A and B are shown apart, each in its own frame.
Chain A
Amino acid sequence: MFAYYLDLALHSLARNKALTALMVLAIALGIGASMTTLTVLHVLSGDPLPGKSAQLYYPQIDPQDIKGMMPSKEPPEQVTLIDGLNLLHAARADRQALMSGGSAPLDPEKANVDPFYVETRYTTTDFFPMFDAPFLFGHAWTAADDEAKAREVVIARALNDKLFGGANSVGRTLRMAGVDWRVVGVLDKWQPNPHFYDLNTGSYAYGEQVFLPLQTMLELGLDRNGSTDCWGNGGGGVGSILPSDTCVWLQFWAQLDSPAKAAAYKEFLVHYSQDQKALGRFQRAPNVRLRNVMQWLDYQMVVPDDVRLQNGLAFGFLLVCLVNTVGLMLAKFMRRAGELGVRRALGASRRALFTQLLIESGVIGLVGGIGGLLLALFGLWLVRQRPSAYAALAHLDLSMLFITFVLALCATVLAGLLPAWRACQIAPALQLKSN
């Protein structure tokens, strides 16, 4: 039966080539545009560490002076060095890491390669297991190395390829910022998107090439990048001048494996704030937040407004295309009232006609979906040509491919429902008579 209906549908579509083409084109354009923008949105609002992100928390506390305090105000988005080290040493979470970003000149000590700048991350040992960073060779430095201000680095695979031709470089030496560093580990390809742990250095398609102990960075006074917020007489954070004690400039992340632990940690943050206030360091009443990765990204509104606006626009366009298709299909089905009347008179049930018409609209949806997919691939290629940082990420994945077809088919079958239902209401006798 299905084969017969399909045959009828193809016949009917072939009879009116221009109209069929028009409907397919409208669907394809609508699907193409909305899938392009939806894919970009999907990529940008994705989970940077699936399966892990719900256990990773970003504690915020409020060490600012009393000036400008308002009850419902959010605490600062980073921590001071003192608080960061206090929280790190308290070690109340399952894992914790304190960090900041920067860049440093690297001298390959090869005659034919000029020195170049690499993006760096200054952090503590738990960074790697906490964020599931995969090691290709070697391992992270230890907590003892942190305290000993070891001159040790973990480098990214790309840099290892560039400097050591992809060989196991553990134990080799690297000349950076005028200092010799020992390579202890090489990370495999790893670039969480968004760059959730420090959005100030770049939200998307940003990855550090060199990781080294924060304590070593403090000792050597290496260059920092990112945001510094100060209050009172705070200052610094330019060049190699470290920000002063009344500046927040570090990110602190904690891994808390259960909701109970998260609740307990929040309690701890409140107690910590109270203790600091009692000591006279904090002036404000405890004002803490504990967001997990996705909540933090949401709070930071990491997805650009333009991308959401474009997505809305594309779906508006898809809606117009669908209304257009509904109108055309309705006109088409109604014009075939005579034919449908004959089939009814010969004994076809309403349900049979309805199925037949829906198959016809389904065929349009399928072809339109394929066209839409091609257009979406082209659209994503166009997006990738743009200069935005996230442009390079705009690729269609399997789930989006699947959604494209489901969307195209659902949309057109839905668009076919009304015209098909309307066409089935025809009284067969009346149609036969008028002809």
Chain B
Amino acid sequence: MDILPILSTLRRHKLTSWLLILEIALTCAIVCNAVFLIGQRLQRMDMPSGVAEHELLQIQVADVTAPSNPYARMAEDVAVLRQVPGVISVASSNQVPFGTSSSNGNIRLDPAQPERTLFATTYFGENLVQTLGTRLVSGRDLKPDDFVDVETAMKGLGNGDSKSLPHVTLITRTLAERLWPGQNPLGRVIYLTPVVGLRVVGVVDSLVRPNAYDKAKAQYTMVVPIRMGANKDQSYLIRTRPEDRASVMAAVLVALKKADPQRGVTTKRSFDDVRRKFFQDDRAMAGMLVGVIAALLIVTALGIVGLASFWVAQRRRTIGVRRALGATRRDILNYFQTENFLLATIGIALGMLLAYGINLFLMLHYELPRLPAVYFPVGAISLWLIGQLAVLGPALRAAAVPPVVATRSV
């Protein structure tokens, strides 16, 4: 196909051609970045929690009047829950993976160190490793005599009495690797405050923090043996078989109500719900991006159809002349297809530059990573395809113009 005649025609429609190129460039640039953003969101939504998500239930209860002994109250509740048929294991915790609300601490490896080493989340709860189903990769689990009541711990913290403070902790593999790369973390000490030094006694495979917004820091997690006692912010975590979740939840609610009819249940959900809620905005954003991409491609395609139809109508006579001079239908078809391909290619080339520019802007304002090169062909291919599909109709109509048109005056 000779492209010179096409170029010479386009030169006569400079403004319109440039507008079409501009539209393709803008669409290409936005589609590249939108697909990239969707990829980011999907990747985020896939973040591993390290727990047996399909086997867990979360319950929170609230008393009308605070119990006189919250620790005894919590122990009673746990005992009640363990009795429910289908319950495999029960834990109490101040926070849950992907639960948003979190307790965190500045970690120092030397109590005198001026700047913190990092900011880690602290799970306070009993029986967490077994119930959550995270694997202990080295060392031991927390033992009942490691645990300290929270009030005792707070008093100890206030008067600097280290005897009434916890002494050990579990950490995740990621945190161990970050604090002591390539070394054995067992027996090392982490300082949460100048007087709270916690010896690492065990390493768990993976346990995500409740507010995991940054992938790199999502596993900076510690489990500290502090007993929180019953209050409205504590959660009971219940492990059961996936297929028993609904029936166990119902039975558990009945058992808790029976234990204390005065009490209200403020949270009752499966871990699938926890994850769904945590990532709901990402899902909505990904959905919206898909919508925008679809709308953009449709508008651009319709624009191409509209312009191509105009050009075909405008050039009917020229087409007739070409046909009369021996051009085949295929030649005419190819002509319009090549014309569109040329315009699309220029548009895509500009679009790539623009996509890169938009990405730089987004990196500056929204903490996004650099647009990987693999996303550029996505925009290119989709626009070439859309262009060819859109121009096919008008081009076929052009090819159908009979040679006899050349002899008629319009």
Contacts and interface: CB of A to CB of B under 8 A. Distances in A.
Contacts of B189: none
Contacts of A235: 153-154, 157-158, 193
Interface in B284-343: 284-285, 288-289, 292, 295-296, 299-300, 302-303, 306-307, 310-311, 313-314
Contacts of B6: none
B83 interface: no
A306 interface: yes
Nearest to B303: A324
A240 B281 CA distance: 32
Given A178-B64, A306-B281, A309-B366, A327 B231 contact: no
Interface stretch (A82-90, A111-119, A344-352, A403-411): A111-119
B289 A313 contact: yes
A145 B50 CA distance: 51
A233 B277 CA distance: 35
A123 B312 CA distance: 74
A244 B195 CA distance: 15
A292 B210 CA distance: 32
Contacts of A114: 264
Given A68-B115, A316-B30, A323-B19, A244 B194 contact: no
B249 to A, nearest CB: 19
B405 interface: no
A219 interface: no
Nearest to B308: A331
Interface string A225-238: 00000001111101
B70 interface: yes
B296 A115 contact: no
B284 A313 contact: no
B314 A335 contact: yes
A435 B409 CA distance: 9
Interface string B93-116: 010000000010000000000111
Nearest to A69: B114
Given A178-B65, A320-B296, A327 B19 contact: yes
A109 B36 CA distance: 56
A22 B23 contact: no
B30 A317 contact: yes
B26 interface: yes
Contacts of B310: 328, 331-332, 335
Contacts, number: 158
B76 interface: no
Interface string A331-360: 110110000000000000000000000000
Nearest to A319: B26
A388 B284 contact: yes
Interface of B: prevailing SS: helix
A26 B299 contact: yes
Interface residues of A, number: 59
A217 interface: no
Nearest to A434: B410
A387 B279 CA distance: 11
A232 B193 contact: yes
B26 A323 contact: yes
Interface string B10-30: 000001100110110011001
Q: Which of A25, A324, A330: most chain B Cβ within 10 A?
A: A324
A189 interface: no
Contacts of A388: 280-281, 284
A431 interface: no
Interface in A377-409: 386-388
A387 B277 contact: yes
A351 to B, nearest CB: 21
A180 B218 CA distance: 45
A25 B295 CA distance: 11
A240 B20 contact: no
Nearest to A387: B280
Contact of A241 (B15, B16, B154): B154
A306 B281 CA distance: 8
A105 interface: yes
Given A178-B66, A320-B27, A239 B22 contact: no
16 contacts: A19-B306, A105-B264, A177-B65, A223-B231, A233-B160, A235-B153, A235-B154, A235-B193, A238-B233, A239-B231, A313-B30, A316-B30, A317-B292, A326-B19, A327-B303, A328-B306
Interface of B: 15-16, 19-20, 22-23, 26-27, 30, 34, 37, 62-66, 70, 94, 103, 114-116, 150-151, 153-154, 157-158, 160, 193-196, 228-229, 231-233, 262, 264, 266, 277, 280-281, 284-285, 288-289, 292, 295-296, 299-300, 302-303, 306-307, 310-311, 313-314, 362, 366, 410
